[in-house]
Amino acid sequence: MVTAAAKRRATYADIEALPDNVVGEIIDGELVVSPRPAPRHSRAASHLGGIVGPPFDFGQGGPGGWIILDEPELHLGEHVLVPDLAGWRRERVPALPDDPAWLIAPDWICEVLSPSSGARDRTRKLRIYAEEGVRHAWLIDPAIKTLEVYRREGAGWLLLAAFEGDAKVRAEPFDAVELDIGLLWR
């Protein structure tokens, strides 16, 4: 006997109805609403884009070959996700699509963890990214100044390295250039 009514699955119309000061995602059929990122979170994400973008997106001082975007809206199967950053290899996506949302899973995502979203980013969202074929994931925690680097192995994630503080790192998939992660916390 069913004692509770079945929960309605969220639709994109639910996201469109949200105010501009929040981020809406659909995870496993559930509408998940988060506040816009706090300054420390936004600063770490912005600085990472500024560190990774020039050598990998623009080819300045590095190999190029990537499209790197801040907060792209990803439509992956039934899910709508908004990572803090994502990257696609240009060999897979030679030009930006005209659609406002991405239907192609990225090759790399980065989630900047916050108290309100950290558990969800580490569990539900990483699971979906793996299921959808994302190859690399970075988790940044600006509160404790860490970077965790993962590679998808089979259905899950393999932690390749964890860095802290002012480390200078070579981290997949951007290991062709040394990155100063201390810049993320400044």
Which pLDDT band holds residue 6 (cuts at 50, 70, 90)?
low
CATH superfamily of 37-185: tt1808, chain A (3.90.1570.10)
List residues bridging with 159 in a β-sheet.
Answer: 150
| pLDDT digit string, tens, across residues 89-117 | 999 998 888 988 999 999 999 999 999 89
Which pLDDT band holds residue 3 (cuts at 50, 70, 90)?
very low
Q: Measuring CA to CA, which residue among 59, 66, 72 is closest to residue 99?
A: 72
Map residue 100 onto helix, strand or coil: coil
CA angle 19, 25, 30 (to 5 degrees): 110
Q: What is the pLDDT of residue 100?
A: 87
Q: Which residues contact 56 (CB under 8 A, 6 or more apart)?
A: 62, 63, 64, 65, 66, 68, 87, 174, 176, 177
pTM score above 0.75: yes
